[in-house]
Structure 1
């Protein structure tokens, strides 16, 4: 078996990043070396290149709303140098030099989570809605039955119409054209990310997908059927958070970034799309439990970043951007190959940066000491601990899983609940359940002590089998960081009465089976009904219309 001897080289650090917010720009002229654009939670979009192993910023925008998606135009021509960034309900377009050439303030009420640009057409996904813009004007829209996770656009044969391949949160994949549903299918693995093959034609609807259970598959649409083919089983792999492409002398690879911090390369047979098989896989464990610093991978793409040879460019949740480069290239581009002037300049920059940080630290320390000694009344507000979290239903014996991702290492977690529950946690932490002070008490108090450098953690909870649950259960989780200041972030989870509904797999409905129907009449509003359902069922429920 071939071995890829890849080594990590750190490039820069930005703010917290969301999935699919790092893009590599195509090369210009005779040089193969490429620039890349990255958007972060602070609302800063910057375009960088690497020179002598140091980042060089070409443009950088001012802070604003969190950037949730970055995309490049798909068509060949003038738009290949255009960078589109989505933040809130706005989409802005920038040139390679950082000039703002277009801005769209959409009518959507929710944050834009994904988008696609093909020629002069922009497809925007926000919550359950998809909006299609042509020449900066909204042409049509479509409302899905659940949240839209990702989108890919294709042109219709012998037509200017655009067809969309969408992934839906209810484990569905659909094809939409001109604001109308063409076909749909159910995929058991729950696909969440799409990657269109590099060699596919723009009119051929096909894409690889990464799923929540860790599996990799392939979607194809041949009128009138949409088909799915699983290429790699999930097994014990983490959920797929991002997909990209990596090319070298062996061919095109599908690069996969996962929630557990691992990166995989799959050498695929792209010449025969109908007979796609996994022919080679390579797993590079970016962070493992022995190093105690795992965090999700948010973007992974291949390109010529640090030199004339291909490498993997990776972005993580906390904003670390680094490359995975062949060890032979690193040895050839060692310190001996760097000019003396470049080394002197690099050392001067590092000394200046250290001096600036020392001065900033001293100023902040003096400011804090003055505020504590001041007799004036005031409130000291520590910074909010930046944590991303989600509550997902598992399919094994009714466990509900809460996932936490922190920008800084965590020290401890405190879990409190008024009802007794079973608790499991990750193997990077030590769980301790405190016995109740009163033998008749039903309260739960548990502590989770994390290992050094832990940024990613999950806990699983479920009610005891003998417990009688008559309503939803509120669980309080307090997260403490490992460093100063010693502040706590309080998170509240509402556990539903019926945690088993996520075990139900959809698929094709049997129309011959009898249906059970429950009718409730009375003086109540739609909001009250929605509140009752959220108390009983897990997950994000669809927003009902006023006539329901």
Structure 2
């Protein structure tokens, strides 16, 4: 890496929410800044670092969780006023801790995100956007999607006040005076918005981070929407939680600093103006916890730039340009301590002993209270858990991330539908499976992860199968007394491997159509579709026909949903998708006692189309399998010395050269060939169902034979010409 930074740990606060860490500006550019931090216990505190010691300036009493923290100031004044959002209330503090504002927004939803610009205040709940000026309501906007972030700025040319809201349904909306002026579609769900200021303060670029780890650029001045990807997710698909722009390398050009959910802090060299100038990673550090807040400035020592970070559990740390191991003697490998350093170490040891004594007293007090004769219950508060369940489009599997403020003892995974648990390189937990009689039990899989000591974050990979709908349950048991567990539930949709797209460009695909008519309402059909597909907006479009586009992450086939009250049309180039959708809609309509009229138009060209999609992947993976078998044979012969390698043919030499590529491929796609086989077999089963044809085990065995010894003509003939008589 081109940049070297040293880690410094400062303090620990309570569990934090996103965007709850900010720096207060210093009086001079190279002076130290104060740190404002808020946590889920409702405590706001401001501190600074003087001679490596924490100096607390003020601290509020506990209260409801603080959701957002911003610093701002009136036009022409420093941004030294602190604003916190709790529930539907906003409070303002001076840098000395004086409460000067308590504002009840009157919102019917709790505040999820906030932005302050001078005397302009922007508050967003899940669906409501409100704009206030001098604490007076000047406009609101009701959004059908879930709002995840909001920013505001003055346009460079028109100087008009413009705000942007990022929505879960792959949309960023532009508003002026609380009126929607543009909806910008992007390819992935956004998580955070950021205004990148170049050296010329008049030039502003809006960046956004996504759930799959990408950074994109928006063209706001001309409202052309998505411009390009600045950072792709080729190496890390972990969601972007926060970002900042600051000159950390000291060359006069701002770098882009990212904080990810997997704990990575990354610094990039970027050029947002020139597309030809490539982005490069110049620093990487992992903090082992989700990054919840981050800002760059001068904190620990005057003149030394630093990235101040707060993690999910409330750990505050810094990555500083100051050399922290100046007392390290490289010749002897020992540290040379000054008298001040030795005094600080002794003071820290004394503080640790005092904390141990207090902890033992509290434990004794608790034990005495449980032994008395009064009918008292022993209970603990609800354990906060940071969890995400996201589809990884690259390998068509779900990533389940669970993070707890304390150490995790074990996690029990239970699911009532067909899933597979995959190995994760970062996961050091020991997994054990329980035997289940699938004929009698409603549970398909029951597995326990026993975590290593001091593990508070775990990442699981879960492989689902389309056509199987159910609920994944995770019982998280932390290392706490008394023993307790927290249950989290995640829905697995029938078409779980599909993801939402804004549109599809390939108009030459052959489509089969499924049309429905019935006495259902628009809201009912929208709810039924959400039971079958992920990433469906919470509310449909009541003004026009609602149109949604989906794409399969394993086959890249497309599904188009067009529906309104009493009428729905579904088009796909994959007949298996239409059959699964038909079955789910039939079940949901039966629950409501609504009669549906189905009209299915099967295009046999879809069979040829899907087989042609699978064919190159199937052949490529078979080649990888053959090469891996040859590689294992070469490894058994221990042909590693250069003297022996030169006698090998070019074919075997190339296999040895591709060793890392082969290992990485099978690590990413552990059972990809079986999934492709399963896709073809399920397509044949669903095609036979839709055609009303008999399905026999002999046909499936014959199809497997054609797949093992790949024969395109044999597979196609089995689909189109190998059908038996229709069922009576």
- TM above 0.5, yes or no, is yes
2:447 matched to which residue of 1? Answer: 446
2:94 matched to which residue of 1? Answer: 95
2:315 matched to which residue of 1? Answer: 320
Offset of residue 452 of structure 1: 3.1
- Of the three residues 489, 501, 506, the one matched with 2:502 is 506
Offset of residue 43 of structure 1: 1.0
Equivalenced residues, count: 530
1:351-430 aligned within 5 A: 351-352=350-351, 354-355=353-354, 357-395=355-393, 399-424=397-422, 426-427=424-425, 428=427, 429-430=429-430
2:26 matched to which residue of 1? Answer: 27
State the secondary structure of the residue aligned to 2:364. Answer: helix
Offset of residue 254 of structure 1: 1.1
1:527-546 aligned within 5 A: 532=528, 534-539=530-535, 541-543=537-539
Offset of residue 7 of structure 1: 1.4
Do the aligned residues in 2 keep the contact of 1:13 with 1:319 (CA within 8 Å)? yes
1:291 matched to which residue of 2? Answer: none
Mind listing any 5+ residue stretches in structure 1 that lack a counterpart?
288-293
Point out which structure has higher relative CO (alpha carbons under 8 A, 6+ apart): 1
Q: Which has the larger radius of gyration?
A: 2
Which structure shows the bigger proportion of residues in helix conformation? 2
Q: CA 1:173–1:269 in structure 2 vs 1: closer, same or farther (change >3 Å)?
A: same
State the secondary structure of the residue aligned to 1:151. Answer: strand
2:257 matched to which residue of 1? Answer: 255
Offset of residue 246 of structure 1: 2.9
2:186 matched to which residue of 1? Answer: 187
Do the aligned residues in 2 keep the contact of 1:268 with 1:279 (CA within 8 Å)? yes
**Cα deviations across residues 262-285 of structure 1 (Å, max 9, x unaligned)?**
111112336xx3558445422322
1:299 matched to which residue of 2? Answer: 293
Q: CA 1:338–1:35 in structure 2 vs 1: closer, same or farther (change >3 Å)?
A: farther
Do the aligned residues in 1 keep the contact of 2:174 with 2:183 (CA within 8 Å)? yes
- How many angstroms apart in 2 are the aligned matches of 1:325 and 1:20? 21
1:434 matched to which residue of 2? Answer: 434
Offset of residue 245 of structure 1: 2.6
Q: CA 1:65–1:246 in structure 2 vs 1: closer, same or farther (change >3 Å)?
A: same
Do the aligned residues in 2 keep the contact of 1:52 with 1:338 (CA within 8 Å)? no
Q: CA 1:188–1:266 in structure 2 vs 1: closer, same or farther (change >3 Å)?
A: same
1:116-127 aligned within 5 A: 116-127=115-126
State the secondary structure of the residue aligned to 2:326. Answer: helix
2:271 matched to which residue of 1? Answer: 269
Offset of residue 398 of structure 1: 5.7
Do the aligned residues in 1 keep the contact of 2:195 with 2:205 (CA within 8 Å)? yes
- How many angstroms apart in 1 are the aligned matches of 2:54 and 2:536? 41
- How many angstroms apart in 1 are the aligned matches of 2:442 and 2:314? 42
Q: CA 1:31–1:418 in structure 2 vs 1: closer, same or farther (change >3 Å)?
A: closer
Q: CA 1:343–1:75 in structure 2 vs 1: closer, same or farther (change >3 Å)?
A: farther
1:59 matched to which residue of 2? Answer: 58
Do the aligned residues in 2 keep the contact of 1:165 with 1:205 (CA within 8 Å)? no
Offset of residue 156 of structure 1: 4.2
Q: What value does the CA root-mean-square deviation take over the aligned residues?
A: 3.4
1:476 matched to which residue of 2? Answer: 473
Do the aligned residues in 2 keep the contact of 1:410 with 1:482 (CA within 8 Å)? yes
**Cα deviations across residues 449-481 of structure 1 (Å, max 9, x unaligned)?**
22333222233445556xx64xx5233221122
Offset of residue 361 of structure 1: 1.7
Offset of residue 539 of structure 1: 4.6
Do the aligned residues in 2 keep the contact of 1:232 with 1:278 (CA within 8 Å)? no
Do the aligned residues in 1 keep the contact of 2:259 with 2:266 (CA within 8 Å)? yes
2:593 matched to which residue of 1? Answer: none
* 2:489 is aligned with 1:492: yes
Offset of residue 179 of structure 1: 1.7
Q: CA 1:18–1:220 in structure 2 vs 1: closer, same or farther (change >3 Å)?
A: same
Which structure shows the bigger proportion of residues in strand conformation? 1
Offset of residue 46 of structure 1: 0.9
Offset of residue 351 of structure 1: 2.0
* 2:82 is aligned with 1:86: no
2:241 matched to which residue of 1? Answer: 241
- How many angstroms apart in 2 are the aligned matches of 1:328 and 1:31? 17
**Cα deviations across residues 481-533 of structure 1 (Å, max 9, x unaligned)?**
2454432222233333332442x3113799999997645426x996x777655
Q: CA 1:160–1:140 in structure 2 vs 1: closer, same or farther (change >3 Å)?
A: farther
My pick for the range that moved more, 144-153 or 533-542, is: 533-542
1:290 matched to which residue of 2? Answer: none
- How many angstroms apart in 2 are the aligned matches of 1:463 and 1:189? 21
State the secondary structure of the residue aligned to 2:369. Answer: helix
Do the aligned residues in 1 keep the contact of 2:4 with 2:283 (CA within 8 Å)? no
Do the aligned residues in 1 keep the contact of 2:73 with 2:81 (CA within 8 Å)? no
2:36 matched to which residue of 1? Answer: 37
- How many angstroms apart in 2 are the aligned matches of 1:222 and 1:246? 23
Q: CA 1:497–1:103 in structure 2 vs 1: closer, same or farther (change >3 Å)?
A: same
My pick for the range that moved more, 72-81 or 33-42, is: 72-81
1:133-152 aligned within 5 A: 133-152=132-151
State the secondary structure of the residue aligned to 1:368. Answer: helix
Offset of residue 296 of structure 1: 0.7
- How many angstroms apart in 2 are the aligned matches of 1:361 and 1:231? 49
Do the aligned residues in 2 keep the contact of 1:267 with 1:280 (CA within 8 Å)? yes
Q: CA 1:44–1:518 in structure 2 vs 1: closer, same or farther (change >3 Å)?
A: farther
Do the aligned residues in 1 keep the contact of 2:169 with 2:537 (CA within 8 Å)? no
Offset of residue 21 of structure 1: 1.1
- How many angstroms apart in 2 are the aligned matches of 1:545 and 1:254? 37
